[in-house]
Amino acid sequence: MMTLDDFRAARRTLDGVLHRTDLMYSPFFTRTTGNHVYIKPENMQVTGAYKIRGAYFKCSTLSEEEKERGLVTASAGNHAQGVAYAAQAAGVSATIVMPTTTPLVKVNNTKDYGARVVLHGETFDDAAALAAKLSEEEGLTYVHPFDDLTVSTGQGTIAYEIFKDLPDVDAILVPVGGGGLAAGVSTLAKLLNPSVRVFGVEPSGAASMKASLEAGRVVTLDKISTIADGVAVKTPGGQVFPYIQKNLDGIIAIDDGELVDAFLDVMEKHKMVVENAGLLTIAALKHLDFQGQNVVSVLSGGNMDVITISSLVQHGLINRGRIFTFSVQLPDRPGELLRIADLVAKLNGNIIKLDHNQFVNINRQAGVELKVTLEAFGLSHKAEILDALGREGYQVREVAASGTITG
């Protein structure tokens, strides 16, 4: 069971280990969602995620014999770093099995904490199968990333800090993968104040907890697909599931495209890097069916590699019309390129790339293709530029990010 005494023990154990992640009031999200929004920035936590809480507390409860055997776990990255950090602090060995799709920054950080890293499979569930096998074959002590009540108790200490900073909190949003964080936070929150509401948020492409709650039992999804790698779980935890059923007030499913917009919002308005799993609770703010309440979004982690950050920024700017590409057929004669550039400049568009293809047609006199990539102020400015080109007689086609023609 997870009792108030258990949570108190976890809080004592973690005292002096964790960074303070005080709530941050968000004027931007308050203005755009209608609720009073506060952010719990666990992306600023030790190891870059909340997972240190459960991993460290779990390790503190192990016997000396269990520690001496060495630890093993499976993780998409954040729990891996938590276990590696706790093992290093305790002076014991740790083997971490991670999916081959794990961002490089999480792999390297785990190695930096002294753990042995084994890359295996494409999903967490693949990695978990190998970790269980290694535990049996090598006698290693398995530290489950979410389906463990001691781990979940450690994660739940977040609720203590939320109530300390915001005693009159009305609703808490937590990311959901396997359910360890949601079970811990919702259970402690209800113990501290039964009237507070706690909502889990998971990607629609990996909504295993939502499916399980609807079925009334833990179910396994056939396949999952989401950019939120930290919560890409086919099967939720069986031990934590009853706590989810009892204490969670609902599940919100988020599409990947919403995470891209959330990434830009958090980066531009709060100057923070938050990984896709942590952004679920930001995207969910627009899905709440109430207003005027004190809402806390838990940002679960911030471990992202530069390539992923670059991709999110690019896609986010494209989604918002701040970068776009159009294609137009031009007569092959001097001055046509300059004319296009002049039209764009007069409308305050900023050209960042040109591709002038004279070989698109067998007969060059029939026309050449010009592809122009430019910066704009947003969707309305983008439409203004395309409309102006059309009025000048150009047959403009927008080129999608994938390279296909739209419109």
Residue 108's region, left for phi above 0, alpha for psi from -120 to 50, else beta, is alpha
Q: Tell me how far the alpha carbon of residue 147 is from its chain's centroid.
A: 20
Under 8 Å CB-to-CB from 3, ≥6 apart: which residues? none
The verdict on whether 51 is a catalytic residue reads yes
- Structure tokens given for 128: 């978990």
CA distance 344 to 386: 9
Contact 209, 251 (CB under 8 A): yes
CA distance 150 to 59: 9
DSSP letters spanning 331-386: -SSTTHHHHHHHHHHHTT-EEEEEEEETTSSSSGGG-EEEEEEEE-SSHHHHHHHH
Contact 184, 156 (CB under 8 A): yes
Give the CA dihedral 308, 201, 14, 11, nearest 10 degrees. Answer: 170
- Structure tokens given for 315: 């896609």
Under 8 Å CB-to-CB from 46, ≥6 apart: which residues? 17, 18, 19, 52, 85
CA distance 315 to 352: 16
Under 8 Å CB-to-CB from 256, ≥6 apart: which residues? 203, 204, 205, 226, 227, 228, 276
Nearest 5°: phi and psi at 167? -60, -30
Residue type, 336: E
DSSP letters spanning 40-67: EEGGGSGGGBTTHHHHHHHHHHS-HHHH
Catalytic residue among 26, 186, 208, 300: 300
The verdict on whether 60 is a catalytic residue reads no
Catalytic residue among 26, 40, 51, 208: 51
Under 8 Å CB-to-CB from 289, ≥6 apart: which residues? none
Residues taking part in catalysis: 51, 300
